[in-house]
Amino acid sequence: MYKEFDVHTQIYFGEHALDRLSHMGAKRALIISDPFVVSSGLVRHVTDRFDRAGVTYSVYLDVIPDPPIDKVVAGVKAAMDFDPDCLVAIGGGSALDLSKAVRKMAQAMDADFNPRLIAIPTTSGTGSEVTSFAVITDPAAGTKYPLVADDMTPDEAILDEVLVKSVPPAITADTGMDVLTHAIESYVSTNNNEFSAALSEKAIEICGQFLLRSYADNRDSHARRKMHIASCLAGLAFNATSLGLNHGMAHQLGAQFHIPHGRANAMLLPHIIEFNSEIDKHSRSKVAYPPCVRKYCVIARSLGVQNLNEVTTIRALTGYMEFMNKEMGIPLSVSEMGIVSEGEYMARVDAMAEAALADACTATNPRYPTKEEIAAIYRKLW
């Protein structure tokens, strides 16, 4: 069966990329954002340009992290009432995902509702500006659903690092580790191909060089710009390949305990590499390894921790992930976070394992897990 590599989104980047807003010919725009982006004044990067270009606009700012279904419904109403020719999503992955779901749902209700979707990320993390994924939370069921539909992919993405200067260190850490997880999961995905691999390799290399720099100093605009590009590269990669068990499990930690998405991924990453490679701290060398081990070794090389033996390389790679987490104040275990008692956490493991097994992302993991294996990883994470 042939494959296709489709980049639907027109990407604008580089200095003053936001000036694209003045030239795109919008007449009536609904800006979708979160309260921080509005109260911090970041949204003025959009509204000032629209004021000068004579674009009529309204701002919907009711986005919250891990957007739940009811916020999507409210967004659909706001969008249909305003009837824009373009939706401008500006914010983190939550604002971008909500906007994608809003357009999709509104279109399902009214086939004539067809605004262009312009995605402007203010975090360097999800890559949502170029993907057909939107992750929506169902609080009643205690789970997150990754919706996937080609027509949710934004039409344009604008990458301007001026918007990420204000990201505090903890969010730089979480979102940066999300980028690294996207690139790694895409690289070892059962759907990977040479095009996605090239994008992942570049994203991984940039994370290795610039994530700690951008965490340590948010005035380091070179590092910020690089991480903003890496986030988009990783988004393009996983849009083609989907993700893996890391995301399937992280979604449940987000839905159950509100652990920020990137942080949940970062905490799981060393465990998932061990599970997929079948190599842990006690492993001995073997004659043959699962195919993903070779790929993890390439990743280790990009990050500067490869050596001549598979077992020592994989151990160095999981050690590197733990090092990154420690350097950036990301806890290594759920117990360290002090957000839930051990009894309550363990009581939810079975349901989380079931939901992670059913999560759409898990299907492309290089090693197909059983529910009990997933539960064992959740227990190790405690």
| Sequence-separated (6 or more) residues with CB below 8 Å from residue 229 | 13, 159, 206
Of the candidate spans 112-120, 167-175, 206-214, 321-329, the one that interacts with ligand NAD by CB under 6 A turns out to be 167-175
Which listed option, ligand NAD, Fe ion, none, makes contact with residue 361 (CB within 5 to 8 Å by class)? Answer: none
CB 316 within 8 A of CB 300: yes
Does 246 engage in binding with ligand NAD (CB under 6 A)? no
Does 366 engage in binding with ligand NAD (CB under 6 A)? no
Backbone φ and ψ for 120, nearest 5 degrees, come out as: -125, 100
Does 244 engage in binding with ligand NAD (CB under 6 A)? no
Does 129 engage in binding with Fe ion (CB under 5 A)? no
At its nearest, how many Å lie between Fe ion and the CB of residue 177? 9
Contact with ligand NAD (CB under 6 A) among 75, 93, 208, 366: 93
Residue closest to ligand NAD, measured at CB: 92
DSSP assigned state of 368: P
Centre a 10 Å sphere on the Cβ of residue 342 and count the other Cβ atoms it contains: 10
Backbone φ and ψ for 175, nearest 5 degrees, come out as: -70, -35
Contact with ligand NAD (CB under 6 A) among 125, 176, 248, 270: 125
Does 313 engage in binding with ligand NAD (CB under 6 A)? no
Does 60 engage in binding with ligand NAD (CB under 6 A)? no
Three-class secondary structure of residue 83 per DSSP: coil
Contact with ligand NAD (CB under 6 A) among 9, 47, 128, 172: 128
Contact with ligand NAD (CB under 6 A) among 102, 135, 268, 375: 135
Contact with ligand NAD (CB under 6 A) among 18, 38, 158, 163: 163
Does 178 engage in binding with Fe ion (CB under 5 A)? yes
CB 331 within 8 A of CB 269: no
Q: How far apart are CA 234 and CA 178, in angstroms?
A: 9
Q: How far apart are CA 356 and CA 341, in angstroms?
A: 21
Residue count, binding to Fe ion (CB under 5 A): 1
| One-letter amino acid for residue 3 of the chain | K
Contact with ligand NAD (CB under 6 A) among 10, 58, 107, 166: 166
Does 97 engage in binding with ligand NAD (CB under 6 A)? yes
3-state helix, strand, coil in the chain (%, to 5): 60, 10, 30
- The two tokens of residue 111 are 């086939």
- The two tokens of residue 380 are 């190790």
Which listed option, Fe ion, ligand NAD, none, makes contact with residue 128 (CB within 5 to 8 Å by class)? Answer: ligand NAD
- Helix axis angle for 169-188 and 310-327, nearest 10°, is 160
Q: 118 - beta bridge partners?
A: 88, 156
Which listed option, ligand NAD, Fe ion, none, makes contact with residue 36 (CB within 5 to 8 Å by class)? Answer: ligand NAD
Polymer length of the chain = 382
Residue among 125, 119, 123 nearest 98 (CA): 119
Which listed option, ligand NAD, Fe ion, none, makes contact with residue 300 (CB within 5 to 8 Å by class)? Answer: none
Report the interface residues with Fe ion, using CB under 5 A: 178
- Interface residues with ligand NAD (CB under 6 A) are 34, 36, 42, 65-66, 91-95, 97, 122-123, 125-128, 131, 133-135, 163-164, 166-167, 171, 175, 178, 254, 261-262
